[in-house]
Amino acid sequence: MSLRLGAYESVIGLEVHAELLTASKIFCGCSAAFGAPPNQHTCSVCLGMPGMLPVLNRRVVEFAVRAGLATHCRIAPVSRWARKNYFYPDLCKGYQISQYELPICEAGWIDVPLEGGAKRVRLTRIHMEEDTGKNIHDAHGGGSLVDFNRSGVPLLEIVSEPDLTWPAEAGAYLRTLRSILQYLQICDGNMEEGSFRCDANCSVRPRGATALGTKVEIKNMNSFRAVERAIAYELERQVRVLEEGGTLVQETRLWDPDREETRPMRSKESAHDYRYFPDPDLPPLALPASFVEDVRRTLPELPDARRARFVSALGLPDYDAEVLTARRDLADYFEAVVAAHPNAKAASNWVMGDILRLVREQRLDDAPTITRWPVTAAHLGALIALIDGGTISGKIAKTVFEDMLGSGDAPAEIVERRGLVQVSDEGPIVAAIDRVLAANATKVEEYRGGKDKLFGFFVGQVMKATGGKANPGLVNDLLKRKLAG
Amino acid sequence: MKLSVDRIRHVALLARLALTPEEERELAATLDQILAHMDTLSRLDTTDVEPTAHVAAVETPWRDDVVTNAPDTAALLANAPARDDDLFLVPKIID
């Protein structure tokens, strides 16, 4: 999409809230699972009853350190918990336990792949905090309803520097960050369910200026597409206001996906004064170097490294490597196919083609991790092996593949059961060619008279006559010879 | 430093306290004294002192990531001033 920014340039920074895939909440032993009946996953701690004390979930710290190491952050040997104070019905204690001064991770970066090459985007910080409950509006005539199942679910807040310029860059940054979190298996990255949420800080300034313009925060975007459209709308709005001689106010605006515009949020929260102070219920978090090193040893291969390896060690084109490593489960599946039969390019073609098409059609990728594949990696590897070994043609392989989808049988069994073994004996092929040429004498004359395009017709007829089982290379050779006369 | 009544009203709003004009004047005077005392403390040279985040020198206590709480929604909702089935009912929130 092209932006009309006239004499202005844009500056974008993003804040991501990622829900962590822990079994229990950050400060109590309640389940952190999504989708339970209202207030089932609550206790006196996450309901903020007086006198209750929070006890930190160790895995939350492990996950935060994993995220920090994967994004080249400095891990703080000592970090602190802070109370962020405000009143809202979904915040039962009147404060959110978060980190303010001394967050657990600082000063990192990620490389974001863009069309013209990678762009390095700096991360200001990553900190841990608890999620709030959920308000339900409009369900009850006289009031609003509150479900605290989400209260106390662990979150990472990941804040970028204002290093992004275009909406598409913001989208690419979010996809890269989400992929990293998914590789680390610490967040499922589901934007619709709210486990990966993004707020965008946008401003514009005269081209070439160094000072930042007035910053506007946009919220309420629940897809990558919405983030890009909301930022584009907002940047153009800001330029319009300035060009018309107006002034911008620092404010929070909500994206309205139906009307495709941002609107100022009610200023009930205008008195933004969170009065952060160290939480007396939680001592500072001291991390021994050995803790960080233990986490470092468990880090998986990250998307960048895996993409590079797919190109260098497996000889895949950049594009294939990019598509296959976008999701960890997809890359794992692809590697399992290659392990079953070492033909990486063929495996890539099948996975990027038929497999991904079916995954999308059957919405298998709605699950955080795809576990049900249309066919198993072992079977797909075996199918490619049958093609490479000359047992079946690529065309017959499509038939076998369709059968595999329905029957779940191994490809060799299907070939056996349906008699699909490729015919590579010259005898039956020559016989079929003779029959086809005899039945199409006129066309043979036309071909010999210079109508080369008819060659494809003859190939098709011969394949049809052999039930598609003839070796296509052999058919080509023999046909040419016969037609030459 | 003299605290204005406006300032008192702002702090009271943040803490959701409803104060009478009399209480506002009284609190302005009391808070003034407290802040004056803080000013006295601020004169101490703390250049080489680590800011205190917590008074107890304890190791970070933590727990394993295990679900230990069984649902007890009925008991937990029993104290709710208002409810609708298993949801807390609050005055209408206008967004």
Residue A208 lies in a domain: yes
Residue B57 lies in a domain: no
How many domains are there within chain B?
1
Same structural domain, A66 and A138: yes
Helix A454-465 to helix A426-439 angle (10° resolution) is 120
What residues of A are in contact with residue B67 (Cβ under 8 Å)? 23-24, 29-31
pLDDT score at A208: 85
What residues of A are in contact with residue B78 (Cβ under 8 Å)? none
Q: What is the DSSP string of A8-61?
A: EEEEEEEEEEEE---SB-SSSSSB--SSPSTTSS--TTTTT-TT----EEHHHH
Instruction: Decide: A79 and A307 in contact? Cβ < 8 Å.
Output: no
Residue A213 lies in a domain: yes
Same structural domain, A29 and A86: yes
User: What is the 8-class DSSP label of residue A35?
Assistant: S
Residue A299 to residue B69: CA distance in whole angstroms: 30
* Tokens encoding A246: 């107006």
- What is the domain-level CATH number for residue B34? 1.10.20.60
Same structural domain, A124 and A253: yes
CA torsion angle A39 A43 A46 A51 (round to 10):
140
Minimal C-alpha gap between B22 and chain A (Å): 24
The pLDDT > 70 percentage for chain A reads 97
Instruction: Decide: A385 and A341 in contact? Cβ < 8 Å.
Output: yes
Residue A414 to residue A57: CA distance in whole angstroms: 51
A 10 A CB-CB count for B56 gives 6
Domain that holds residue B22: 5-42
pLDDT score at A118: 82
Residue A138 to residue A125: CA distance in whole angstroms: 37
- What is the domain-level CATH number for residue A462? 1.10.10.410
Domain that holds residue A409: 301-418
Nearest CA in chain B to A286: B60
Mutation for A interface: B11, B54, B58, B65, most A CBs within 10 A: B65
Which pLDDT tens digit goes with each residue over B6-47? 888 888 888 888 989 898 888 888 988 998 999 999 899 988
Same structural domain, A367 and A273: no
Q: Please choose, from the candidates A180, A165, A175, the residue with its C-alpha nearest in 3D space to the C-alpha of residue A198.
A: A175
Average pLDDT over residues A469-477: 81
Same structural domain, A158 and A234: yes
CB-based contact A38 B89, cutoff 8 Å:
no
pLDDT band for position B70 (50/70/90)?
Answer: confident
* Tokens encoding A276: 């952060």
A 10 A CB-CB count for A202 gives 29
- Evaluate if residue A162 carries a pLDDT over 90: yes
Minimal C-alpha gap between B57 and chain A (Å): 8
A 10 A CB-CB count for A256 gives 13
Residue A442 to residue A395: CA distance in whole angstroms: 28
Residue B33 lies in a domain: yes
What residues of B are in contact with residue A143 (Cβ under 8 Å)? 82, 89-92
How many domains are there within chain A?
3
Same structural domain, A168 and A201: yes
Dihedral sign, Cα of residue A449, residue A455, residue A456, residue A461:
positive
Residue B12 lies in a domain: yes
Residue A2 lies in a domain: no
Instruction: Decide: B36 and B29 in contact? Cβ < 8 Å.
Output: no
Pick the more confident residue, A193 or B56: A193
- Evaluate if residue A270 carries a pLDDT over 50: no
pLDDT band for position B94 (50/70/90)?
Answer: low
Which pLDDT tens digit goes with each residue over A183-201? 898 998 888 888 899 999 9
Residue B26 lies in a domain: yes
CB-based contact B87 A85, cutoff 8 Å:
no
The pLDDT > 70 percentage for chain B reads 96
B35–A contact, CB cutoff 8 A:
no
Which pLDDT tens digit goes with each residue over A377-421? 999 998 898 888 878 888 888 888 888 888 888 888 888 888 777
Average pLDDT over residues A243-250: 84
CB-based contact A284 B68, cutoff 8 Å:
no
Tabulate helix, strand, coil % of chain B (nearest 5): 40, 10, 50
Same structural domain, A263 and A187: yes
B71–A contact, CB cutoff 8 A:
yes
Average pLDDT over residues B68-78: 85
CB-based contact A80 B69, cutoff 8 Å:
no
B66–A contact, CB cutoff 8 A:
yes
Instruction: Decide: A233 and A260 in contact? Cβ < 8 Å.
Output: yes
Q: Name the average pLDDT for chain A.
A: 88
Question: Rg of chain B over CA atoms, in angstroms?
Answer: 22
Of A24, A80, A273, the CB nearest to B67: A24
pLDDT score at A115: 80
Minimal C-alpha gap between B3 and chain A (Å): 18
- Evaluate if residue A71 carries a pLDDT over 60: yes
pLDDT band for position A140 (50/70/90)?
Answer: low
